[in-house]
Structure 1
Amino acid sequence: MTEPVIDLSEVSRRHDGGPPALDRVSLTVRRGEAVAVVGPSGSGKSTLLHLIAGLDRPDEGTVTVDGVRVDRLGEAGSALYRRAKVGMVFQFFHLLDDLTVLDNVVLPARLAGAARGAARRRATELLELLGIGRHGGALPGRLSGGERQRVAVARALMNRPALLLADEPTGALDTAAGQDVSRLLSELHAEGQTVVVVTHDPALARSCTDRTVRIADGRIVEDGPSRAAGAEPGSLGAPEAVR
């Protein structure tokens, strides 16, 4: 069995003295898995994502991602951890409107100290791989929602992260664009990328992941397969193409 990328043990988190947003949650995600975390608003799924991403700390328990004890990191360490280990895709893209598509994708590598030429070559390859290479010189505002989300995915993959976190990645898209992004996440998983999708949409979970973790009232209430046995994700082509 492959080693875990995510290992949460007895994690609890409370906000402002209220009831626990997460209550003694333990969760393991192994390398190469695609996992959906689903639940209604207020269930604790966003808190779980923030803890995995190092954007918050638990009150109790441990959070380990790709060998890093995330719960022990300070602010600077958390920023370095996210830069090296985690790629994040958000509902509203979070692209910089005054930078070109290519420069948006290059940015994480430059922040990590990569040489400009090497960073631009990788960014160009990712944009081509994701079918938007022709838009490299455009500003994000000229692209459709689905295209902007593909740019966000390329940016998230720029530093070859051990983990791709997607937070409601289709929530701001129309149905056709949402299905396009869902297929893209499925294809990335098929190429070996570890993916965690946080969503309130069970249909998205079924379409692009092989395991669904359901959260209610801060606890995991269900953990099982996302799709019927034998269903196959898509393919981007060459194995490990996105790595």
Structure 2
Amino acid sequence: MADPLIDLREVTRSYDEGPPALAGISLRVRPGEALAVLGPSGSGKSTLLNLIAGLDRPTTGGVTVDGVRVDTLNETASALHRRARIGMIFQFFNLLDDLTVADNVLLPAQLAGVPRARAADRAAELLARLGIERHARAYPGRLSGGERQRVAVARALMNRPPLLLADEPTGALDSASGADVRELLRGLNADGQTIVLVTHDLALAESCATRTIEVVDGRIARDVSRAVTR
């Protein structure tokens, strides 16, 4: 059996006074899994995602991602690790409106120092794969919500990260665009992409997650693996 891509061990995250956002969570995610993280608002879902991404640090416990203890990295090393090994998708896309679609997708490769010609080939491949190549020279503001989320997915995949994190990826979309993104994520996982997504969208979890956990009051209350019909 493959080593876990994500390994959290007895992780607690506290903020000043009050109960901890996470309270002694242990979690392993293996390559190829699509994990949906469910739970009510304030349950600790986003904190969990931020710890995996290295955007936050645990108060106690350890967080290992792709063989690296991300909780021990300084800010610069954490950014470099995230750039190379983790793709991120956000609810409100986080695209740069003054850059074209192609330039938004190219940005992670440029920051990583990938040669322009090789990066351009990769961007063209992703835009074609995600069905948005005709929008390469358009600006994000001219696109629908579903198209903008596809651009965000292409950008997240630019550097071929082993892990894709998604924070409410259908939360800002209408029902048709949400269904489109659900199918996209399902297809990516079918191709072997490891995905961890935080969502309130039960249809998203049911359609593409191979495993679902429910976080309640900072603890994992339920952990269910299941086969997904492709």
Q: Same fold (TM over 0.5)?
A: yes
1:232 aligns to 2:229 (yes or no):
yes
Question: Distance between the aligned counterparts of 2:59 and 2:208, measured in 1?
Answer: 32
1:12-27 counterparts in 2 under 5 A?
12-27=12-27
| 2:65 corresponds to 1:65 | yes
Greater CA drift, 155-164 or 9-18: 9-18
**Map 1:106-185 → 2, pairs under 5 A:** 106-185=106-185
Q: Distance in 2 between matches of 1:162 and 1:225?
A: 20
Runs of 4+ in 1 over 3 A off after TM superposition: none
One-letter amino acid of the structure 1 residue matched with residue 155 of structure 2: R
List aligned pairs for 1:185-196, cutoff 5 A: 185-196=185-196
Deviation, structure 1 residue 124:
0.7
Structure 1 Cα separation of the partners of residues 136 and 2 of structure 2 = 36
Give CA deviations for 1:132-155 in whole Å, capped at 9, x if unaligned. 011000000011000000000000
Aligned to 1:99, what secondary structure does the other structure show? coil
Matched AA of 1:197: L
Amino acid at match of 1:10: E
Q: Which amino acid aligns with 1:13?
A: R
**Residue aligned with 2:99, SS:** coil
- For residues 16 and 121 of structure 2, the distance between their equivalents in structure 1, rounded to whole angstroms, comes to 46
Measured after TM superposition, the shift of residue 200 of structure 1 is 1.8
Equivalent residue of 2:171, what SS?
coil
1:90 Cα shift?
A: 0.2
SS class of match (1:82): helix
Runs (5+) with no aligned partner, structure 1:
234-243
SS at match of 1:20: coil
Q: Deviations over 1:111-169 (max 9, x none)?
A: 00101111111001000000001100000001100000000000000000010001000
Say which SS state the counterpart of residue 3 (structure 1) adopts: coil
Name the residue aligned to 2:198. 198
Aligned-residue RMSD, C-alpha = 0.9
Following superposition, the deviation at residue 232 of structure 1 comes to 1.8
Q: What is the TM-score when the length of structure 1 is the normalising length?
A: 0.93
SS in 1 for 2:161: coil
CA distance in 2, matches of 1:18, 1:200: 25
Partner of 1:37, secondary structure, is strand
CA-CA distance at 1:2 after TM superposition = 1.9
Runs of 5+ unmatched residues, structure 2? none
Q: What residue is the counterpart of 2:34 in the other structure?
A: 34
Indicate the larger mover: 201-210 or 36-45. 201-210
Query: Equivalents in 2 of 1:205, 1:44: separation in Å?
Result: 17
Deviation at 1:100, TM superposition (A): 0.3
Give the partner amino acid of 2:32. G
C-alpha distance in structure 2 between counterparts of 1:69 and 1:22, whole Å: 18
SS at structure 1 position matched to 2:12 = strand
Is the CA contact 2:170–2:201 (under 8 Å) kept in the aligned structure 1? no
The answer to whether 1:51 aligns with 2:26 is no
Percentage of matched positions with identical amino acids: 69
